[in-house]
Amino acid sequence: MSDAELDSWKSEWRQQPDLFAGLKRDIGKQNFFTALAVVVLLLGMALSAAAALYFATDYLSGLFTGILVTALILGAYVWWAWRGSWQAAVQTTLAYAELSHRRAVAAARVLRFMILYLLIAVVLYGGYLAWNWRERSISAGLYLALLVAELLIFRYLLQPRSKRAIDEAAKLVDHVSELDNV
């Protein structure tokens, strides 16, 4: 005769290492993509600085300087938003689930900041183009259209995904907490 509660505990005990390995793998992927984003950010900053120095026109120098300043501001904000989300405090499933939740919240903060930043950039750049519309080329309008497209993608495609990621991470933390309390 078998004990149902004991069998349930055995089943949960067997499932938890798979959950831990999956969480650890996901955190590793996030670490890789974070490092890749830092490399891309630094490369973009270097290219913008080089382009600002190379091009003699005021417009292109201003554009590339704006890209450089934007990269610095966004990089600093990302660094601030992700504080406390670099690694798990201990090597447990609950710690990795909580780290996953903290990272989802940090990513949502960064996305919200980027949407606000893009909105300000669209308004300022659009105002600048409207003020100097006779002197601007088609490429200046394309830059504005790309900024608007990026703003719409962030707001209507990525922001709902970000909210779902937070909800899923919170449910995972609750689930793992329940497993630890059993």
Confidence category of residue 101, pLDDT binned at 50, 70, 90: very high
Q: Which positions ≥6 away from 71 have C-beta within 8 Å?
A: 41, 44, 45, 48
Identity at 78, one-letter amino acid code: V
> 162, 123 in Cβ contact below 8 A?
no
> 87, 99 in Cβ contact below 8 A?
yes
**What is the structure's pLDDT at 149?**
95
CA 76 vs. chain centroid, Å, equals 13
Q: Where are the alpha helices (DSSP H) in 132-158?
A: 138-153
Identify which has the larger pLDDT, 171 or 34: 171
End-to-end CA gap in the chain: 22
Average pLDDT over residues 97-123: 92
Q: What is the residue range of 105's domain?
A: 4-181
Confidence category of residue 11, pLDDT binned at 50, 70, 90: low
pTM above 0.85?
no
Indicate whether 1 pLDDT > 60.
no
Distance CA(150)–CA(16), nearest Å, equals 40
**What is the structure's pLDDT at 14?**
58
Identify which has the larger pLDDT, 13 or 63: 63
pLDDT in tens, 127-163: 988 888 777 777 788 888 999 999 999 999 999 999 9
Average pLDDT over residues 31-52: 83
Indicate whether 35 pLDDT > 80.
yes
Domain count, the chain: 1
| Mean per-residue pLDDT over the chain, rounded | 83
> 71, 41 in Cβ contact below 8 A?
yes
pLDDT in tens, 61-99: 777 888 888 888 988 998 898 888 878 778 888 888 889
* 142, two tokens: 């394309």
**What is the structure's pLDDT at 168?**
93
